[in-house]
Amino acid sequence: MSVSASKAKREAKRIAAGKKPKKAAVTAEEEAAAAIAKMKLQEDEFGISDRVTTGVLDSLGTSRDIKLSSVSLLFHGKVLIQDSTLELNYGRRYGLLGENGCGKSTLLRSIAAREFPIPAHFDIYLLNEPAEASEYSALEYVVREAEIELKRLEDQVEDIIVQDGPESPVLDGLYEKIDSMDPSTFESRAAIILTGLGFNGTTIKKKTKDMSGGWKMRVALAKALFVKPTLLLLDDPTAHLDLEACVWLEEYLSRFDRILILVSHSQDFLNGVCSNMIDLRMQKIMMFGGNYDSYVKTRIELETNQTKAYQKQQEEIVHIKKFIASAGTYANLVRQAKSRQKILDKMEADGLIQPVVPDRVFSFNFAEVEKLPPPVLSFDDISFSYDGKPENNLYEHLSFGIDMDSRVALVGPNGVGKSTLLKIMTGHLQAQNGRVSKHSHIKMGVYSQHSADQLDLSKTPLEFVRDKFSHISQDFQYWRSQLGRYGLTGEGQTSQMATLSEGQRSRVVFALLALEAPNILLLDEPTNGLDIPTIDSLADAIKAFNGGVCVVSHDFRLLDKIAKDIYVIENKTATLWEGTILDYKKKLSKNVVL
């Protein structure tokens, strides 16, 4: 293949500058080789294909919108999506719905890896891992990433001008992005985003190498929000946030003006952010206009109409079959029967109306426990610091208690000590001053953000629970029913836990927690990874539980359903909030700075 001198010079300059050489026109053989290489990238550690995708781009390659038809997605050989259409329009914010394990996170990963034919001019960012450990502070990290993104955009403009000419319609969008970045405001805008996500004057200067995983996730989220990719994919972005940061993020994302696909299990958050909903149901992608509440209303109407049409068609089929069966041998009736049979055959060929398949409904269940007289758990004038020094106290002169009828919610910014307070309750941490009193028969069950770390991911849920509680039963059927009560059924019970979604693993943890039969539940972010019906089921179980409950959660709807008493953790103590959790949210909303 001959290459012109001018083109060769351009390629040489590109390579010298550290850029990738331009792609030449590819042959059919090269396309096939590329497809095989793509498949290899989707293989897991055992060489088994992890994801297999199909899709056809129906929108123009230069369009700001994306329309894909014939979309299919397989994960470890399991069909998650088949023969569907996915349409993403510029300026829209999509909430991605579906029960745990249906493929929401897998779909986002496939989109981010460009396993579907998405035009190259779309820059895609998937938030699924924390910022890397580095010597940069949170502020320096975000500013540096913004500078890298600006340079990438400028290089992309040069490449397109060389390849497609200065009149390329793709350039308008790139120029718009470059103009909106404005390097002179990088530091101030990055600081606003980081502050909104919970950083203060001290933590914003902290090096990422010295941060916990949760804070590094916030830095990565700040980067994503700052660079504003054309297609932003967020998988449960509130999982590591406190209520205050959730309120800020909701306000910020509600103004996102490119394309957003958001997985969230908070109805409140979805209502505040989303303009459209995508429902993964029965291996199909179903598109809805409006926020979550609008989706629920529309879906009820559609399913009501579908049920009526199904019943009407079934009655018609019964009537036709009855006529055919009674036709006998009379010539005129036989002719009519044949005519009716043709009608029936055509109905079946066209596809019969299917009955509505309801959501799988199951009930969490915490065992009945013995009533204990108060006080069950009480703090009397306690003080605590991690290093034992009074000047570093997280709590001072705190008096607080939980009894069998308690439904307590702890709220407040990250870092004030909500999880620490739960650890003092369990005895994992000891107060330096004051008295902690516990009933002699108290039995605390703890669910934390790290509870799933106890799971052996090489085992199936059935194997794990049977091995852990072998003294109760060795019978797999017994453990099938126990896991089934928490919504883990079929393949979910017999697949390696490494292949399960976060929500499915959480169900295993809740099953283990229930087996311990605690009389006091301490729940630290229990909704992370759970789908909306499961969260509703959890709320019902907490309300029905006859023991005491103390919960830390960023899910306003869960707290609204279960909390009797709300304590705000601030100023080294816990103060009873006089109002509802929605009143507390309104208070936080007034302080939002964008």
CB 451 within 8 A of CB 514: no
- pLDDT tier at 28 (50, 70, 90 boundaries)? low
What percentage of the chain reaches a pLDDT higher than 70? Answer: 91
| Mean pLDDT lowest among 9-23, 87-101, 220-234, 241-255 | 9-23
| Number of neighbouring beta carbons within 10 Å of residue 170 | 19
DSSP 8-class letter at 522? E
Q: Which whole number is the average pLDDT over 229-247?
A: 94
pLDDT at 16 over 80: no
Q: What is the pLDDT of residues 442-465, one digit of tens each?
A: 999 999 877 877 889 899 999 999
| Mean pLDDT lowest among 54-63, 193-202, 530-539 | 530-539
- Phi first, then psi, for residue 583 (nearest 5°) are -65, -40
CB 565 within 8 A of CB 408: yes
Q: Which whole number is the average pLDDT over 373-382?
A: 95
| Number of neighbouring beta carbons within 10 Å of residue 232 | 23
Q: What is the pLDDT of residues 314-368, one digit of tens each?
A: 999 999 999 988 877 677 788 888 999 999 999 999 999 999 988 877 777 888 9
| Number of neighbouring beta carbons within 10 Å of residue 188 | 8
Q: Tokens 């009945």: give the residue.
A: 368
Pairwise CA distance, residues 294 & 296, whole Å: 5
Choose among 252, 150, 130, 145: nearest CA to 196: 252
- pLDDT tier at 32 (50, 70, 90 boundaries)? low
Q: What pLDDT is stored for residue 499 in this prediction?
A: 87
SS3 381: strand
Q: Tokens 């959480």: give the residue.
A: 506
Q: What pLDDT is stored for residue 113 in this prediction?
A: 94
Q: What is the pLDDT of residues 145-168, one digit of tens each?
A: 999 999 999 999 999 999 888 988
pLDDT at 61 over 60: yes
Q: What is the pLDDT of residues 78-128, one digit of tens each?
A: 899 999 999 999 999 999 999 888 999 999 999 999 999 999 889 999 998
Q: What is the pLDDT of residues 274-295, one digit of tens each?
A: 999 999 999 999 999 999 999 9
Pairwise CA distance, residues 269 & 555, whole Å: 9
- pLDDT tier at 11 (50, 70, 90 boundaries)? very low
531-to-279, 387, 501, 508 alpha-carbon distances in Å: 12, 39, 11, 14
- pLDDT tier at 27 (50, 70, 90 boundaries)? low
Q: What is the pLDDT of residues 387-398, one digit of tens each?
A: 999 999 999 999
- pLDDT tier at 224 (50, 70, 90 boundaries)? very high
Q: What pLDDT is stored for residue 449 in this prediction?
A: 75
Nearest-Å Rg of the Cα atoms of the chain is: 29
Q: Which whole number is the average pLDDT over 535-547?
A: 93
Pairwise CA distance, residues 119 & 66, whole Å: 8
Plot region of 480 (φ>0 → left; ψ -120 to 50 → alpha; else → beta): alpha
Q: What is the pLDDT of residues 461-500, one digit of tens each?
A: 999 998 888 888 878 888 888 888 887 888 889 999 988 8
What percentage of the chain reaches a pLDDT higher than 90? Answer: 67
Q: 285-296 burial string, b = 16+ CB within 10 Å, else e? A: bbebebbbebbe
pLDDT at 3 over 70: no
CB 73 within 8 A of CB 80: yes
Q: Tell me, yes or no, if the pTM score tops 0.85.
A: no
Q: Tokens 């041998």: give the residue.
A: 329
Torsion of CA 303, 305, 307, 310, to 10 degrees: -130
